[in-house]
Amino acid sequence: MDNSAGGSVALVFDLGGTWFRSGILDGDRLTDVRQRPAPRRGVDGSDVPQLQRALVRYLVETAEAYRTRHVFDRVGVSLGAAMNGSSGLVLASAPLWGPGRWPLPLAELLTAGAPRFSWAVLNDVSAQAVSLLGEDWPTGSRLAALTVSTGIAYRTIDPVTGHIPLDAVHGLQGEIGHLPARFEWRGAALDLACDCGVANHTSAFASGRGIERILREPLAAELDRYRTVPELAAGCAAGDGPALELLDACTAPLARLLLAQATLDPTVARTVLMGGVVHAFGRLYRESLLRNLDKDPLYLVSAADPGYFGERILISSRPGVEALVGAGLHALRIGD
Ligand SMILES: [Zn+2]
């Protein structure tokens, strides 16, 4: 297609465990944003192959519908699934498809289904990391996106080249949601299953669904009025002590990971928090992480530099649209 029309315009998708969203990225402006609930495994009796076929159909049909309203040929898709970032093969998605490995050559299927478009598919936290490019960052360092939503993941990126380091064989980096974790409430450990089917992963306690599972446990009478993340966030915003105590318990597994990350890779100068859970709590989420990092400080650093983590851990300045923007920037960059 003639690229002179729509050369800086891309159709963008953000497909997560809760919402499927679409929009048009024109320069750095998002327009015509639409969303619908994500189809859930088991809710309407669909099995995973049916959900995957429906995903491809949804993308192709939505792209054709947008093409009647906008001029574009590039399409960027951010998918809430673990992917081999080198080959593009989608590997698994605990939030979308539950436990197990469900390989899906999504870009190939989309190209076959709608060859008029140039499709670029990337993992959601990679898209969120790409959305950080173009801002003013410390030179000579790397950035990281940490997303906390239905799932949890962490990804580093070079702010100059946009390079995302990946495992040379498996094409992965930063799937921290599925690292072993320990959750404690008032001195007692709690065991909970992760969406991937394994007990006591970070996501089992710190993801949106994890927090809501914890709220169903008989923790304390004063927490009975909270059933959802938005309700708990409202309690925290109102200064409710037990709500803030629970938030700290839920961010503690992530604080421990950030402590290990800072120890192992000090070249990451900024970690930017994003995702539905982070944005539900807002600044209180970051403050909770920092409280936990005060309790377990970085050896030989925190005592000498008490503001170390406060300077390095930030909240995204584009709440909720990072994956859409990053998917579009990626689609436009790789086409050039
Ligand atoms: Zn897991």
150 and 70 together in one domain: no
126 and 229 together in one domain: no
CA 334/CA 158 separation, integer angstroms: 16
Kindly state the average pLDDT of the residues 66-81. 96
* Rounded distance from Cα 137 to ligand 1 centre (Å): 32
* Rounded distance from Cα 133 to ligand 1 centre (Å): 29
- Residue 152 forms beta bridges with which residues? 148
**Is 2 among the domain residues?**
no
* Rounded distance from Cα 312 to ligand 1 centre (Å): 27
**What per-residue confidence (pLDDT) applies to 115?**
97
Kindly state the average pLDDT of the residues 253-260. 97
**What per-residue confidence (pLDDT) applies to 5?**
46
**Is 227 among the domain residues?**
yes
**pLDDT tens, residue by residue, 1-11:** 334 445 799 99
Lowest mean pLDDT among 25-34, 73-82, 130-139: 130-139
**What per-residue confidence (pLDDT) applies to 98?**
83
Hey, is 33 helix, strand or coil? strand
Higher pLDDT, 330 or 140: 330
* Rounded distance from Cα 197 to ligand 1 centre (Å): 6
**Pair 201, 179: CB distance under 8 Å:** yes
**Is 154 among the domain residues?**
yes
* Rounded distance from Cα 118 to ligand 1 centre (Å): 33
* Rounded distance from Cα 101 to ligand 1 centre (Å): 12
Query: Would you state the structure tokens that stand for residue 243, as one six-digit string?
Result: 């709500």
* Rounded distance from Cα 170 to ligand 1 centre (Å): 18
* Rounded distance from Cα 231 to ligand 1 centre (Å): 25
**What per-residue confidence (pLDDT) applies to 45?**
61
197 and 306 together in one domain: yes
**pLDDT tens, residue by residue, 273-284:** 999 999 999 999
Q: What is the DSSP letter of 253?
A: H
Question: For residue 164, which of 138, 179, 135, 142 has the smallest C-alpha distance?
Answer: 142
* Rounded distance from Cα 196 to ligand 1 centre (Å): 4
* Rounded distance from Cα 198 to ligand 1 centre (Å): 6
**What per-residue confidence (pLDDT) applies to 334?**
81
Higher pLDDT, 195 or 271: 271
**Is 135 among the domain residues?**
no
Higher pLDDT, 222 or 138: 222
Instruction: Give the CA distances from residue 160 to residues 23, 120, 167, 296, in Å, rounded to whole numbers and listed in that order.
Output: 26, 21, 20, 32
Pairing of strands 9-15, 19-26: antiparallel
* Rounded distance from Cα 72 to ligand 1 centre (Å): 38
Here the CATH number for the domain that contains residue 278 is 3.30.420.40
In terms of residue numbers, what domain contains 274? 142-315
**What per-residue confidence (pLDDT) applies to 39?**
81
pLDDT tier for residue 262 given thresholds of 50, 70 and 90:
very high
93 and 206 together in one domain: no
**Is 136 among the domain residues?**
no
**Is 4 among the domain residues?**
no
206 and 255 together in one domain: yes
> Does residue 269 register a pLDDT over 50?
yes
Mean confidence (pLDDT) of the chain: 92
155 and 209 together in one domain: yes
CA 62/CA 56 separation, integer angstroms: 10
Place of tokens 């497909």: 15
205 and 301 together in one domain: yes
189 and 306 together in one domain: yes
* Rounded distance from Cα 192 to ligand 1 centre (Å): 10
**pLDDT tens, residue by residue, 143-183:** 999 999 988 999 999 999 999 999 999 989 999 999 999 99
Kindly state the average pLDDT of the residues 295-319. 95
How far from each other are the two terminal CA atoms of the chain, in whole angstroms?
14
**What per-residue confidence (pLDDT) applies to 44?**
58
**Is 308 among the domain residues?**
yes
197 and 64 together in one domain: no
Burial of 7 (0-12, 13-18, 19+ CB in 10 A): middle
CA 39/CA 97 separation, integer angstroms: 10
* Rounded distance from Cα 62 to ligand 1 centre (Å): 31
**What per-residue confidence (pLDDT) applies to 34?**
96
77 and 197 together in one domain: no
**What per-residue confidence (pLDDT) applies to 3?**
40
**What per-residue confidence (pLDDT) applies to 41?**
66
Report how many domains make up the chain.
Answer: 2
* Rounded distance from Cα 332 to ligand 1 centre (Å): 33
**Is 212 among the domain residues?**
yes
* Rounded distance from Cα 186 to ligand 1 centre (Å): 24
> Does residue 329 register a pLDDT over 70?
yes
* Rounded distance from Cα 204 to ligand 1 centre (Å): 7
- Residue 180 forms beta bridges with which residues? 201
123 and 253 together in one domain: no
211 and 301 together in one domain: yes
